[in-house]
Every structure is written in C-alpha cells, then in structure tokens.
C-alpha cells in the first residue's frame, strides 16, 4: 500500500495546482471517485489483518477528510475568482450618460405639469394634493354649488354606490376640493396650486371621462383682481415662452367665485398650429375670479377679514394648444408611436432658466 503521507502530499499539491473548476473536478475523481486512489485504499482495508486495519483505517479516514476539505476550499476560491472575473467583464459604468432613445419618452401631460408647477413655484406657490374620491361637501356644498345644480346630476358626475346612511361618495369633478381641504386644515394666508386628475361623464375629441386640471388659490387680507391678472399674465408669458401676452377678461358665472371671469389670450390660428401673443383672434384658456365669501365661510374663514382669488384650467387643453396636439383622446390611447412623436426626453427637466420645452 502506498505511503499515506506521501499520497496526501501529492493530492494536496494537485489540488493547489488546479487552475479552474474542471481541473479540480478531475483531481477529485482521481482521488475520491469510485476508482480513485483513496477509494481503492479504503477498499483494501477488508484484506488486512484486524491489527493492521485498526492502525491504517483512522489514517485513511483522516486522509479522505483532508483531501475533501482541501477540494471544498479550493472550489470556493475558484468560484470567487470566476465571479470576480464575470463581474469585471460585465461591469456597466452607470456614470455614463444614457442614450435618450432607450429611456422611453415623458408623456406630454407629465411634461406640462412639470412646466406649470415650475412656473408657479418660482412665484412662491406651494403644490397641494388631495384624494380623487371625494364627498359631497368638499366637491359641491363647500364650493357653493346648490343641490339643484346640473353638475350634481349622474349624467355629469361619477357616483360610487350608496352607503348605509344614504350618502354617496364620488370621483371629484374638479381639483377645487383640494382648495377646500387646504383652507379647512391650515390657517390663512394661502398660496397654492393644485394639479391633478378629475372625472366627468363626457367624451369627444375635446373631452374625456378623466382629464387633468390645475387650479390656483390665494387667500389673504389684501389680494384683489389686479394681483390675479398679474399672476396669470406672467404665467402665460412663461408657459407659452413669448415676450408678452395680451389678455382680456369676460364676465362669467361660477358658484365659487364672485365676481367671475373667463380669460382669453390673443392669438393667430394657422393651418396646423396656434401662435400665441399676436394676431386678430382670441382664445379662452381658463376661468377665474374672487373667491365667493360663502366658500370662505364654509371653510371657517371670516370673509369680513380675508379675501382672495382662484383660477382653474385644463392641463390637457393647454398642452394641446402649446404642442399642436389635435385630439384629446390620443392622450389616453397608450400608442407608443404617438408618444414617441409628442413625448419628451426623460432627463430634460423643464426649468425657467434653461427653457421649459427645449
């Protein structure tokens, strides 16, 4: 029988010299496989005298265990080296700029929301949000919308199933409900804009059951219509990226403002686009007015001490106007070809300094 210590030295040397997992597996088979050198020596124990077997068996078991441990340790080291080599070969430098075409496109609505909030944030407005599912008080009553008003009817509003007490929640028909929640929960003064989804039962090329609005609210002790006009003028100038915008205000009626007005801007209608800021035509883009004292009272604000103004516009509509998108329904079609055409580069964040729609 081969000297056990010599065999152990040979096998450990072969294990140390194995450069990869295949070579190590070959050493394992030659040592511990069915016909391996250690396995054959173990089988020879049965032919030995009891005294000799008693001496050799512990040494062979120690040899077998030593070789198995060495193989496991070498295998672990080779696996680690293989993983390190793979990681080095597959490394991606995440600091390199991405290719814009591989990042998809920003939806025009998301882009316009970023543009609008950037403009109003620069004027010192806070961005407010609220729930899409509302109750009657915050969506109608607190806004001075009477029970018989057509907007409360089912053909205009999406109502949820009736509760046990007979009340019904609804999908908000405007983001004005967030104005109410803000005035209820925070002491004036207020200076907020509220972007968000709204829902009405309507659908054609200029209306969809779900659409996006942004509304603004200013409540303090001194604000008046002149301040409102100045804010809206600065917004139009920045949003449409023109030096000046001529505006006109037409008297209108909204339950939540008094007096109320609709704002038009001067423009030119060309064949496939609208040019804002000059021309002989006018285009209505939003409604506005001084907050009705009844609305302030519903929110626990003393209308003899505080006053303010509010306005609201459709984000989808002004996105169509600015970027020449002809059909509102395409905003919600999930057509990748449309998004590739009208979408924006993901990493190109709109700023007033760098340009909103560059």
**DSSP-derived secondary structure for 272-313:** S-EEESSSSEEEEEEEEEEEPHHHHHHTT--TTT-EEEEEEE
- pLDDT confidence tier of residue 290, bands split at 50, 70 and 90: very high
List Cα–Cα distances, 352 to 190, 193, 196, 240, in angstroms.
Answer: 24, 17, 22, 12
pLDDT of residue 152: 73
| Pick from 52-56, 161-165, 254-258, 354-358: least confident | 354-358
How many Å separate Cα 98 from the centre of its chain? Answer: 19
pLDDT at 297 over 60: yes
- If one compares 309 and 321, the residue with the highest pLDDT of the two is 309
* Strands (E) located in the chain: 126-127, 133-134, 170-171, 190-199, 210-220, 247-254, 257-269, 274-276, 281-291, 307-314
Q: Return d(Cα 94, Cα 187) in angstroms, integer.
A: 46
Is the pLDDT confidence value at 255 over 80? yes
For the chain, how are helix, strand and coil distributed in percent, rounded to 5?
45, 20, 35
* Alpha-carbon distances, residue 224 vs 112, 121, 252, 291 (angstroms): 27, 20, 17, 10
**pLDDT value, residue 279:** 77
The confidence score (pLDDT) of residue 2 equals 54
Whether 94 and 316 have beta carbons less than 8 Å apart is answered as no
Q: What is the mean pLDDT of residues 149-164?
A: 80
d(CA 220, CA 202): 36
Question: 109, 319 in Cβ contact below 8 A?
Answer: yes
Cα–Cα separations (whole angstroms), residue 254 to 122, 202, 222, 261, 292: 28, 20, 22, 8, 9
Q: Mean pLDDT throughout 44-54?
A: 80
Residue 184: pLDDT over 90: yes
For the ranges 68-82, 161-175, 195-209, 297-311, the maximum mean pLDDT occurs at 297-311
**Predicted local confidence at residue 353, as pLDDT:** 53
Task: Report the pLDDT value the prediction gives residue 36, as an integer from 0 to 100.
Answer: 82
User: How far is residue 189's CA from residue 126's CA, in Å, rounded to a whole number?
Assistant: 12
Quick one: average pLDDT of 319-342? 84
10 Å Cβ neighbour count for 186? 13
Residue 337 confidence class, pLDDT cut points 50, 70, 90: confident
300 or 208: which leads in pLDDT: 300
pLDDT at 28: 87
- % the chain with pLDDT above 70: 92
Please report the pLDDT score of residue 100 as a whole number: 57
- Calculate the average pLDDT of the chain: 86
Residue 293 CB burial class (10 angstroms; 0-12, 13-18, ≥19): middle
pLDDT band at 304; cut points 50, 70, 90: very high
DSSP 75-88: HHHHHHHHHHHHHH
The pLDDT-based confidence of 204 (bands split at 50, 70, 90) is: low
Is the backbone peptide bond immediately before 261 cis, with ω within 30 degrees of 0?
no
Of the candidate ranges 247-251, 263-267, 291-295, the one whose mean pLDDT is the lowest: 263-267
- Please, which pLDDT band fits residue 283 given cuts at 50, 70 and 90? confident
> What is the structure's pLDDT at 155?
66
Q: What pLDDT, on the 0 to 100 scale, is given for residue 295?
A: 96
| The model's pTM | 0.66
Tokens of 180: 């109410």
Six-digit token pair at 59?
């040494």
Q: Express as a percent the part of the chain with pLDDT over 90.
A: 40
Query: Is pLDDT above 70 for 317?
Result: yes
Among the listed residues 66, 58, 64, 60, the one whose alpha carbon sits nearest the alpha carbon of residue 16:
66
CA-based nearest residue to 169, from 140, 133, 138: 133
Let me know how long the chain is: 358
User: Would you place residue 157 in the very low, low, confident or very high pLDDT band (cuts 50, 70, 90)?
Assistant: confident
In sequence order, the β-bridge partners of residue 264 are: 248, 284
- Cα(136)–Cα(154) distance, rounded to whole angstroms? 13
pLDDT tens per residue across span 71-90: 899 889 889 988 888 888 88
**Please, which pLDDT band fits residue 93 given cuts at 50, 70 and 90?**
confident
Token digits for 266?
């001067």
Q: Which of 93, 119, 101 is nearest to 347 (CA)?
A: 101
User: What pLDDT was estimated at residue 217?
Assistant: 97
């Amino acid at each position: 029988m081969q000297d056990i210590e010599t065999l152990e030295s040979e096998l450990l040397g072969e294990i140390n010299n194995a450069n990869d997992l295949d070579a190590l597996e070959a050493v394992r088979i030659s040592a511990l496989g069915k016909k391996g050198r250690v396995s054959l020596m173990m089988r020879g124990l049965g032919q030995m005298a009891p005294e000799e077997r008693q001496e050799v068996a512990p040494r062979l078991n120690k040899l077998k265990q030593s070789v198995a441990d060495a193989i496991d340790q070498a295998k672990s080291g080779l696996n680690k080296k293989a993983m390190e080599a793979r990681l080095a070969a597959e490394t991606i430098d995440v600091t390199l700029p991405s290719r814009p075409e591989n990042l998809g496109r920003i939806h025009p609505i998301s882009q316009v929301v970023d543009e609008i909030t950037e403009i109003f944030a620069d004027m010192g407005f806070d961005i407010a949000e609220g729930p899409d599912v509302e109750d009657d008080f915050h969506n109608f009553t607190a806004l001075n919308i009477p029970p018989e008003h057509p907007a409360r009817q089912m053909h205009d509003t999406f109502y949820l199933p009736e509760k046990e007490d007979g009340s019904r929640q609804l999908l908000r028909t405007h983001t004005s409900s967030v104005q109410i929640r803000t005035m209820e929960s925070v002491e004036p003064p207020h200076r907020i804009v509220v972007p968000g989804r709204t829902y009405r039962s309507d659908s054609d090329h200029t209306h969809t059951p779900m659409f996006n609005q942004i509304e603004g609210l200013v409540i303090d002790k001194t604000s008046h219509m002149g301040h409102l006009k100045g804010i809206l003028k600065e917004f139009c100038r920045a949003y449409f990226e023109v030096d000046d915008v001529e505006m006109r205000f037409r008297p209108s009626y909204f339950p939540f403002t008094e007096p109320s007005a609709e704002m038009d801007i001067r423009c030119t209608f060309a064949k496939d686009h609208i040019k804002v800021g000059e021309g002989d035509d006018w285009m209505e883009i939003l409604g506005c007015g001084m907050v009705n004292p009844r609305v302030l009272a519903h929110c626990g604000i003393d209308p003899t001490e505080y006053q303010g103004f509010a306005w609201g516009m459709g984000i989808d509509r002004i996105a169509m106007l600015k970027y020449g998108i002809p059909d509102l329904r395409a905003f919600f079609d999930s057509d990748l070809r449309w998004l590739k055409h009208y979408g924006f580069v993901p990493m190109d964040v709109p700023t007033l300094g760098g340009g909103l729609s560059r």
